[in-house]
Every structure is written in C-alpha cells, then in structure tokens.
Structure 1
C-alpha cells in the first residue's frame, strides 16, 4: 500500500526490453544514434508538428533548461507559489537562468490565472529596477492534481505573448492530464500557445526520461550548448532514445496514464464514502488529496501505508481543522485494484475506530 509517489515504482517491462535491445552493438554517441533519431520523429508525429526535442535525465533539468532558454538573468518567471520549480528544485531554475527571479502566485486549486499574472505585472512600475517579465510557467497536471483546459492555457499564452513572454509547461504528469481531458497532445500544447514543454516520462513508466520539447524554433537556438554545459548530453544517448521510442510505441504512455488515473478515481470514490474523510478537490488525474482525521492518518502510517501529509492549509476555503490532516495519495501504472481496495478497507476500519 504505497501511494507516496509515482516515482517509487519500477520501469515498464516494454521499456526495459527496449533498453536491452538498444544495448547490442555500437551506436553513435551524444544523441546521434538511430534510437534517438527515431524517438524525435515519433514525438513529432505525436504532436503533429515539426519540433525540436532534447532528451535529458531529470525533470529538474528539463524545467531549468527550458526556462533558461526563455528568461535572461535579469528576467522574471511567473508560476504558482506551489509549483515544482518554486519549491522543489533547490534553486535550479534560478541557477540555470543565471539569476532570473521566480514570482510565486496564489491560486486555490494549484492554478494561476491571467488575472493573477496581470495583477502582478501591474506592480512592475520601476522600469529597470524591476526584473524584465520573461516567462509564465504552468504545471500540467498541477501540484494539486488539477488540470488546465486548452482554453485556460490559451488565455495564459495570449497574455504571455502580448507581453513578449514565453509560456512553459511542466509536463511531469502530461500523459495523465492528456487522457483525462480527452484532447490531443497538439491541442494541449502548441495549438494552445505553449512554447516549450517539459515532456515527462519518468513518473509514467520510464527509467530516466524527460524531454525538452520546443515548439518555437527561435527558443531552440544554442540549446544544444545549454544541455551540454548542464551535463545533460549523455554520451550513450541511445538509452534515452530507446526509452522514448518504447514509451510512445503503441500508445504505451497513454495506456499507463489511463490505468493510473482509473486507480486514482477508484481510490477517490472509496474515500468519498468513508465517514470522517472528505475530498476538497476533484481527481481528474492520478493524485488524490483527501482531508482526514489526524489520528486516522497516523494509524494508517503505523499500519504500513505509505503516503505524504501535504503542506499548506488546504485548497481554497476548505480549511483544515487542528485535528485533521491534508494528505496526498498517488497512483501509478503498477497500482492494482487489490492495493486500492485493501487500503480503502484499512481507512474505513481505522476511521471507524477513531469515531
């Protein structure tokens, strides 16, 4: 019963097999191999457009290098106050941009709006004493498991472009958002105005696979040098290319995400029927955020269930009482119905005892 993260599980067998197959014989180094070439072509087909794709090993690298392509050292990047780039990447975006300032903006469901960004921009009245607005970064799915619709993305993109800024999307859980919204990858990105996407695979069945996917060719200028200087150009790049090819083949990435989302829905539905537990947020992707009695959370942990108490005071106006806990549960492509049902039985029993 481990719902701590979708990072805790292993690699999908098809991707492991692809790595084994790619291991045979010599291949050109530094991403010039046949696997990487095929992977980039496959990615272009998925997004229905020509694009520039740079394979890296971590989401932090993908996000930080993406923002470095958009924001100068004197730039400003606007994001949600709980965004991964703001609170979980140890200052890497600031480091790789050479000092750009991140502005964390509020939003009750993990999302920012054009109105929130505009209100912040209206405070930039000091000329060169303020940093130069350079980028907006959004997370899809968000840190609270919610989703931006294509229309919401377009509204932020229009605002960004009207102020000569770029729009970056952190897509660590891109596949989970995509299958939930039922749109195409193109509709959720470049057709909605996204300039750079950090396309995530690691949380959804890959070993180490993130892709800086650039839709605006001007932003790809010199990006190879940025990746090299960051230590993210692998000499044996075939192992990244092989992962991406297998990840996209036969829509494996979408199937994995659909399964994870379905398990999260099953989990959320069961928790909603449990006395003393409430769900202040919808569960459109693979993360569930219940509020439960603190005594229940503690007993669940003592029983061996793994999940995190989530920081903050709860989403929106649904405040957390002094004897309550706001927690996060994450499902993955390996989560089973038995695992979910066993956990739900434990929650029900523990909640009953607490009552």
Structure 2
C-alpha cells in the first residue's frame, strides 16, 4: 500500500516506448531534435498561444531557472511559507537568481491571498535598503493538495501587473490541478496573467522531464545561456523531447491525472466516517490530507501502509493524540490498493 508520493510510480509504458523508439538512429543533440520540436509545438496547441518552452530534467531546475529569468539578484519572490521553492529545493532559487530572497507568506491550504500579498508589499518601504519585489510564485496544486481556480489566478495576476511584478507558477502537478477545474490550460495560465510556468511531467508518468514555459517571449531571450550554466542542457535531448511528446500526445497527461485524482477521491470517501479519521481539507487533486488518531496511524503502519506525516498545522490544530498524514495517489494507483488501505483503516 504505497501512498508516499507520486514520484514512487514508474514510467508510463507509452512514454517508455517512445524513448525506445527515439533510440533508433542518430539525432541532433542539445534539444535540436524533431521530438523536442514537436513537443514544443504540442505545448503551443494545448496552451493556445505562441509560447517559448525549454525542456529540463528536474522540477527544481525548472523552478530555479524560471525564477532567475524574472527576478534580479537584488529582488524578492513572494511565495507561500510551505512552497516547494521555500522548503524543498535547498536554496536553488536563491542560487540561480544570484542571491534573490524568498519572502514567505501564510495562507489557507497553502494558497496565497491578495490580502497577504498586499500586506507583504506594504512592508517594503525602505527603498533600495530592501529587496525589490519582483515576482510572485504560486504552486498548482498546492503543497496541501488544494487548487487555484482560474479566477483566483487571475486575481493574483492582475495584482502582479498592477504592481509591476511577474507571476510564476510551479506546476509540478499542473495536470492534476487542471482536470480538477473547468478551465482550459490557457485560462489557468497566461490568460490569468502567468508569465512563466514550470510544467511538470515526472510526477505524472514521465521518467525525468519538465518544461519551462514562457508566455512572454521577451523573458526567454538569452535563456539558453541560463540553461547551460545551470547544467540543464542535455546532450541527448531527444529523450527529453520523446518523453514530453508522448506525455502530451492523445492527452495522456490528462488521463493519467484524472485517474490519480479519482483514486484520491475514492480514498477520501472511503476513509470518511472511519473512527479516528478527520478530513480537514477538500481533495480536488491527487493528494488526500487526513488527520489520524495515534492508534489508527499505528495500525496502518503495522498493516504495511506507506505515507508521510505532514508537519505544521496547515490543516488546523491537531489533538494531543493526532497526526496529519499525506496520502498521494499516482497514475499507477489501483482501486484495489485504495480499497486495501480503507479496509486496513476500518480494521
């Protein structure tokens, strides 16, 4: 019963097959291959605009390099306190921006609010003695599994434009967030004011493939130099292109995400009402955050369930004998696995 992360799932067979097919014969290196070209063309179709995109191998690389294009070394990025860029990327955003600061804010469900952003901006009154507010970064879906609706993104995007800031979206689970809304990919990003998107594929079926998607072409000027300096130019880039193309073709990325989301919803519904369980948050995407009694946590562990305990009180205060657990479903999660965990919880 593996619910620790969607990273534990392997590679989707269609993506593996695409990599094998790309392994025949020579191909131009450093991303100048036909698979990468077609993958970028497919991204343009999906997002309904003439975007500029670069393929990289890691989500941390995508986030850090994307932020380096919108934030000067003397700038600051407003993000949630629990944002991956603030808690799980070992200072990479600060490194690749050349020293920019992350200003961490609070918000329910790990979402940024306009009120929090305005209060933070109001604190920057010392001119050049402080950092320059340069960008906002939001996570889709958030670190507590919540989803920004298109209107929420548009509100933040409008606030950024009004105050001269750029908007970055960490879309490591963008597919899961997208299928949870009624919006199109365009409505959830550039039409709502997103300037640059870290578009994730690895958590949703790829081996190692992410895209840095610029909706403002001016931001992408000279970006290849940043990629090279950041060790994200892959010699045999065709294998990034093959992964991304297979991921996007026939909407595999959306079907994978729908399945993972459905498994998380099944899990949450099955756990609801079990003694010792509280569900403090909605489960719109593929992560279910569940408050467990200490006894139930011990029983699940003994039954072989693997999941992570989540720090902090982002889902509300915990009782003296309670823990907050994160259960993540992936494109490979089966109904039998979900039902097995529910049965173990019911005892």
Q: How does 1:334-353 map to 2 (within 5 A)?
A: 334-349=332-347
2:276·2:296 contact (CA, 8 Å) conserved in 1? no
Residues 287-324 of structure 1: per-residue CA shift (max 9 Å, x gap): 00010102211221222110000010242xx3101100
Matched, 1:101 2:101: yes
Correspondence for 1:227: 227
Q: After the TM superposition, which segments of 4 or more aligned residues of structure 1 sit over 6 Å from their partners?
A: none
If the length of structure 2 is used for normalisation, what is the TM-score?
0.99
Q: Is the partner of 2:25 in helix, strand or coil?
A: coil
1:278·1:292 contact (CA, 8 Å) conserved in 2? yes
2:110·2:314 contact (CA, 8 Å) conserved in 1? no
Correspondence for 1:134: 134
Gaps of 5+ in 2: none
Residues 248-294 of structure 1: per-residue CA shift (max 9 Å, x gap): 11100000000000000000001112112010000000000010102
Correspondence for 1:29: 29
Q: How does 1:205-220 map to 2 (within 5 A)?
A: 205-220=205-220
If the length of structure 1 is used for normalisation, what is the TM-score?
0.97
2:299·2:345 contact (CA, 8 Å) conserved in 1? no
Aligned-residue RMSD, C-alpha: 0.7
How many matched pairs? 347
1:264·1:283 contact (CA, 8 Å) conserved in 2? yes
Gaps of 5+ in 1: 350-355
Correspondence for 1:322: 320
Residues 162-218 of structure 1: per-residue CA shift (max 9 Å, x gap): 121100000000000101102110010001110000000000000001000000111
Distance in 2 separating the partners of 1:114 and 1:217: 27
1:6·1:330 contact (CA, 8 Å) conserved in 2? yes
Give 1:161 shift.
1.4
Correspondence for 2:147: 147
Distance in 1 separating the partners of 2:76 and 2:221: 20
Distance in 2 separating the partners of 1:210 and 1:337: 28
Give 1:114 shift.
1.2
Distance in 1 separating the partners of 2:56 and 2:175: 18
Distance in 1 separating the partners of 2:37 and 2:182: 28
Q: How does 1:1-355 map to 2 (within 5 A)?
A: 1-315=1-315, 318-349=316-347
Distance in 1 separating the partners of 2:198 and 2:313: 29
Residues 210-256 of structure 1: per-residue CA shift (max 9 Å, x gap): 00000011110111000010000001000000001100111000000
Distance in 1 separating the partners of 2:117 and 2:267: 34
